[in-house]
Amino acid sequence: MEYSHRYHAYPTQEVAEGLEHHLDVHRQLYNHVRWDYQNSPEDDKPSEYDQNNKLPEWKRKWSVFGELYSKAAQTTVARFHRNLSNLRKKKEKGYKVGCLKRQAPSDYRSVTYNQSGFDLDEKRGHDKYAYVRFSKIGWVKIRYSRPVPDHATIKEATFKKETTGEWFVSFGLETGDADLPEKPDVDSLDTSNSVGIDLGIQNYIHTSDGKTVDWLDLEDDYERLRREQRKLSRKVKGSNNYEKQRQKVATVKRHIRRKVLDYQHKLTTWLVKEYDAVFVEDLDVAGMLQGDGNARNKQDAAWRQFITLLEYKADLYGCHVKQVEARGTTKECARCGVETAKPIWVREHSCPACGFETDRDANAAMNVLQRGFSELGLGWPEDTPVETVTATDTAQFESVSASHVIETGSLPS
């Protein structure tokens, strides 16, 4: 599948001049390609390939062409030949067509770099911006309104100046829909390649095979947000200072959202790569279990985003992702199924019926795993982690810090 993303661009004065200059030289090149074509004998018109081969000679003759990134120059030659073939098709359909016109500056507004000569730096812009480098011109700041998906390849980058004077950068993206991996056979799933996840209260996630992954530490960020919000409350509404401060608050909020999203991207990518099946609780139900105001809503929103990402990546990486009934995952014993009420502060699961003891969230994650198997029509797995995990030994659960996930983009396996 091919599609494109378009972004508002904010080049510095200096870079904008470079873009303008290149735009103009590309236009001259286009016109020269056209001139060369039209002045060739009727029975010996040059092909795109022929004209690409003439580029070095033209560069020697007119040094200005030498300023262009050579692959981008080839793309401009290709543009002429694409227009030519479109014109021909129209003619074949019986339309009355003229010939390709010389391009005036007002007609020629964009330049495309194909395959190479450009870079995207997603990190440098913080929050809502990113930077794109066009070879021989420089870095252009763009408003990075939607990130390029992990699985997409950027085939080309185009810069364009609209008639309004605004700059835009667009990426031609490609995803191999046809060769998306097939999901593993359901019958091949077992407890070694599948995982149940408890979206915990203390830890961000707890897996049925014994990993706890900490939630991001956002204390400093929230502290900063509170500070900026306090400042905002002291400004006069509608004043310049108020507006400035309002933007500061918005920036901090955006920063937090970005950080969370980035973290969730890493976690979900790891999960779908590591396992053939991932089971999570259905949040619509879980959300109602312990309703406690704003904090709870915030966490629910974060989880919903987490699950959305997980489901989306399931298709990209060939992994089964299923949401299971959340009710009772904490109360129910993962070994015998007997329900025991647990107040929220009780961190251990200790079953009065069968004596199974483990961490509260581990028990819940194992229940999620079992429910996932049953959803897929597989019944209880023979070798549930209940039997393989030394029941009382919660110390063996491996704890992974958020900073580890951030730095390595993965969890230890």
Enumerate binding residues for Zn ion (CB under 5 A). 333, 335-336, 351, 353-354, 356
User: What is the closest distance, in whole angstroms, from the C-beta atom of residue 367 to Zn ion in the complex?
Assistant: 11
Choose between 120 and 334: whose C-beta lies nearer to Zn ion. 334
Return the SS3 of 211. Answer: strand
d(CA 410, CA 413): 9
d(CA 282, CA 32): 62
Residue 93's Cβ-count burial label (10 Å; 0-12, 13-18, 19+) is exposed
Residue located via tokens 């995952």: 329
User: What is the closest distance, in whole angstroms, from the C-beta atom of residue 336 to Zn ion in the complex?
Assistant: 3
The phi and psi torsions of 121 (rounded to 5 degrees) equal -110, 105
Other beta carbons within 10 angstroms of residue 276's beta carbon come to 20
Amino acid letter for position 62: W
**Token digits of residue 32:** 């020269």
User: What is the closest distance, in whole angstroms, from the C-beta atom of residue 342 to Zn ion in the complex?
Assistant: 13
User: What is the closest distance, in whole angstroms, from the C-beta atom of residue 237 to Zn ion in the complex?
Assistant: 59
User: What is the closest distance, in whole angstroms, from the C-beta atom of residue 347 to Zn ion in the complex?
Assistant: 17
Choose between 346 and 353: whose C-beta lies nearer to Zn ion. 353
User: What is the closest distance, in whole angstroms, from the C-beta atom of residue 331 to Zn ion in the complex?
Assistant: 11
- Taken in order 303, 307, 312, 316, the sign of the CA dihedral is positive
| Furthest CA-CA distance within the chain | 95
Choose between 117 and 196: whose C-beta lies nearer to Zn ion. 196
Distances (CA, A) of 407 to 148, 149, 199, 256, 267: 20, 20, 22, 17, 12
Structure letter (DSSP) for residue 183: P
- Please state whether beta strands 277-281 and 320-324 pair in parallel, antiparallel, or not at all (unpaired): parallel
Q: 277, 322 in Cβ contact below 8 A? A: yes
Choose between 301 and 336: whose C-beta lies nearer to Zn ion. 336
Q: 322, 372 in Cβ contact below 8 A? A: yes
User: What is the closest distance, in whole angstroms, from the C-beta atom of residue 385 to Zn ion in the complex?
Assistant: 14
Choose between 113 and 356: whose C-beta lies nearer to Zn ion. 356
The helix, strand and coil proportions of the chain, stated in percent and rounded to the nearest 5, come to 45, 20, 35
Choose between 251 and 350: whose C-beta lies nearer to Zn ion. 350
Choose between 216 and 366: whose C-beta lies nearer to Zn ion. 366
d(CA 128, CA 254): 8
Choose between 333 and 405: whose C-beta lies nearer to Zn ion. 333
Q: 267, 213 in Cβ contact below 8 A? A: yes
User: What is the closest distance, in whole angstroms, from the C-beta atom of residue 180 to Zn ion in the complex?
Assistant: 41
Choose between 121 and 339: whose C-beta lies nearer to Zn ion. 339
User: What is the closest distance, in whole angstroms, from the C-beta atom of residue 354 to Zn ion in the complex?
Assistant: 3
